[in-house]
Amino acid sequence: MIETERLILKPLTYEQLIKYIKCDNSLETELKLNKSSRTISDELKEAFEQTILPNVADKSKNYLYSTLWTAISKAENKMVGDLCIVGEPNEDEEIEIGYGTYDEFQNKGFMTEIVQGIIKWAKSQPKVKSVIASTDKTNTASFKVLEKNRFVKTGETDLLFNWKRQLDFDAV
pLDDT of 102 strictly over 90: yes
Q: How does residue 171 score in pLDDT terms, banded at 50, 70 and 90?
A: low
3-state secondary structure of 163: strand
3-state secondary structure of 165: strand
User: What domains are there in the chain, each with its CATH number?
Assistant: 2-166 (3.40.630.30)
Scanning 23-171, the segments in alpha helix (DSSP H) are 26-30, 42-47, 53-57, 110-123, 140-148
Contact by Cβ (8 Å): 6, 80? no
Contact by Cβ (8 Å): 30, 51? no
Nearest to 41 by CA among 11, 57, 59, 20: 20
Partner residues linked to 130 by β-bridges: 94, 166
- Predicted pLDDT at 34: 96
Residue 12, φ and ψ in degrees, nearest 5? -90, 140
Q: What is the mean pLDDT of residues 94-111?
A: 95
Q: What is the DSSP letter of 51?
A: I
Give the model confidence (pLDDT) of 105-156 as tens digits.
999 999 999 999 999 999 999 999 999 999 999 999 999 999 999 999 999 9
